[in-house]
Amino acid sequence: MLDINQYITPELIDLNLEGKTKEDIIKLLVNKIFTISPDSAGSVTPEDTYGAIIKREKAQSTGLGKKMAFPHARIEGWNRFIIVLGFHEKSIDFHSLDKIPANFICLMVSPSQKPYIILQAMSSILRIMSRKKDVYSFFKGRSPTDIVGEFKKNNIKVNRTVQAHDIMQPVGAIAKLDDKVEDIIQTMHLNHLDALPVIDEQNQLCGQISCVDIFNHELPDFFGKLHTVSFVKNMDPFQKYFNIKGDLKVSSFFNKTCSTISEDATLIEIVFQLTVKGNSHLFVVQNGELRGKIDRFSILNNILFF
């Protein structure tokens, strides 16, 4: 178990960041590392550190939304993992997923030999920040010592093994039992989704509704046993759907069986489910409550590319 609090110190927190671009902010935070803790860098220069972080930023924005950004890099020759926290009162455009500029910038650098520590630290900090009402109000008016104290209250610790909560994605679109199927199809279309989790009023996962569930609804059961349907070319499987679509509810279509995994499931368990078991996606649940989603892209994006 790794205690992230040992890396969050008042000296490595800047609550008065100034600059107009994310490049300005990254340079300021890199300079802070070399001012406060130059031995963390080992043989790496400030210029190479800045270049590595900018290269990663150009490949894919680290603005994760909700006014937060996590610029980072894994660098060959870097000595030890370091975190620098910054707050910009006017906010900086990090081309975030939700298009909202960032006030909170958490810059992290690690040795290339420790591939997962940045991912796990970021996941832990995100879980803490998600409990706060607003990132801006969390930092505004506090001192670096206050910020350290707030993080220590939450006792951030990281398992050395990557787990589901480290790589899961927020579930942006969901379906409820009383939703109209017509509306759900539109949601799936607009978001390019093959399936949606179905939840109840307490956010408990009930199952999923997928394109396959919708297609199968109007097909006779015996179709599943056929090797060809060439002899019924003129049949329209969706004709009935268009006649009654306004009355159809998710409760009539959804599949109570779906692939789930717990928040503390390990990376090998996740990969097993996505590859050997052939699941295209997994819903992350804890005590029956839907917490997130993992698909094959999650592995590419958060492990292989991260």
- The tens digit of pLDDT for each residue in 270-301 reads 999 999 999 999 999 999 999 999 999 888 88
Tell me if residue 87 falls in helix, strand or coil. strand
Give the DSSP H/E element, type plus range, for residue 182. helix 181-190
Per-residue pLDDT tens digits for 120-167:
899 889 888 887 778 888 998 899 999 999 898 887 777 778 899 999
Delimiting residues of CATH 3.40.930.10 domain(s) in the chain: 2-160
- Residues spanned by CATH 3.10.580.10 within the chain? 175-304
Question: Is 70 exceeded by the pLDDT of residue 222?
Answer: no
Residues 72, 74, 77, 80: is their CA dihedral positive or negative?
positive
Indicate the CATH number for domain 175-304: 3.10.580.10
Average pLDDT on 210-230 reads 76
Is the model's pLDDT at 59 over the cut of 70? yes
Residue 177 tokens read as 């039992």
What residues contact residue 166 under an 8 Å CB cut-off, 6+ apart? 116, 119, 120, 123, 302
Q: Which CATH class is domain 2-160?
A: alpha beta
> Which residue type occupies 24?
D
